[in-house]
Structure 1
Amino acid sequence: MTKKDNIYANPQQQVKDFVFDDSVVDVFSDMIERSVPGYQTIISTIGHLAQSYVTDNSNIYDLGASLGAASLSIRRNVKSSNNTLYAIDYSQPMAEKCKKHLLSYKSSVATEVQCADALKVDITNASMVVLNFTLQFIAAELRSQLIENIYQGLKPGGILVLSEKLTFPDDKIHQTLNELHLDFKRAHGYSELEISQKRTAIENVMKPDSLKTHYNRLKQAGFKQYNQWYQCFNFCSIIAIKD
């Protein structure tokens, strides 16, 4: 049974920076469903993309795998043979629970769950790489390096799926979409106190970019084919394909 996220339900004298610790891992499934509009659409589509883009004798990387939702979707849909999926997460509690989730589902896709820094992962012979709401938690000055590492490790024809929260250059648009997102959270049971305290906890930890910044970063890394395939309010997902 999914545990309800009530981490910020009571007033906190000092709201600490958000971390993916045991308390977050314990309620993460509920937290992300009630916080990210369209999350299940993105997860299911990652599986469909895996079916189309993962090739025989290649590797798959889920960087920032959290509890393994994207990895599980991939494992359920891959039709090719002799693949290895690497599910990577920087949080030890998250990686441990991810491993339990993935091992509960039998698949022909060999899977390794690692607690590691995405920037230090040696990406090789990859037909698919997933960054599902991961890049925004990496220091801004290191993001280009990670995208470049992914590009270099992808095989020709390989795909990167990049899902992120967005900022917008127009203040009115930014405020409107942000308010729609807050309404989404209210509709899913979060109180004003929870919303406020979560915002305080995460504002120094998660630093979103604009769509233009993402596109510029992908282009700089070498991608020529990239486009947003999904957006709901201020959340989006992009695909980039290596020539």
Structure 2
Amino acid sequence: MYYVLVIFILYWALAPVLALLMFRRFLWMGKWGWVFVGLGYMVLALIFQSILQQIPELVMIIMHLNSLITNSISIIELVKTFSIGNSVWLPLYIGFVAGLCQETARYFAVKGRLITSALYVGFGFSLVDIAVGLINMVVAMALSKVGGLPLISIIGLSLNPLVSILYHPGASMYLRYAQELKRGLRGYVITLASHTYLDTAVSYLNIYAMLGLLDQTSLLNVTSIFWASAIILSIALFAVGLSRITRFAINRNG
């Protein structure tokens, strides 16, 4: 179990380093300050996101406070019952809040900056995203009593860094280009919709897997479809954003 943990830690830690080297070697050099801008805005977004995503459960706990005080129901049972009863709209809410907070932060992070900075601002978003995912992975695997990882978890752990490295710079470049064309609102709506889809799907997978609402075969099929769509979406957004930024820079310098 622990050698698997070490392998994934190394993979998650080295993936962004390799991506940064490739950006600087094959695309264009960027200032470290741009990366730190992305880091700061992403941290701020996650703070608001964490608070807003807890609201439904906090409201539910307050409504059942008397039962919790008298020990007639445990908080674990209460949260599980709440999640099962709201397994349709709760992932939608979680995904939308994630998209709203992060894409709003992205909008202001790239706004008014040099258009080529968007790649590295987005990379800063990726670094925070990967760091949070790495911490969650280490905690979950350290607390797990299972001897090995299910295939579903291996798929997610293998593809998550790749999606993050492609999506965040891609969304940042696309949004910055849209702002340059005075179409920032449209670009924002597109990145918001994309992000909401990704996080909503992940929330559905997590809740349905945790509560056992799908059998293993169905869960594996759904997981495979989601990650395939996530990779396609991230590659498409990165490719479109990169082509637009590159074309703009060539036309401006030419």
Task: Answer whether TM exceeds 0.5 for this pair.
Answer: no
Larger Rg: 2
Between Structure 1 and Structure 2, the one with more helix by share is 2
**Which protein is richer in strand relative to its size?**
1
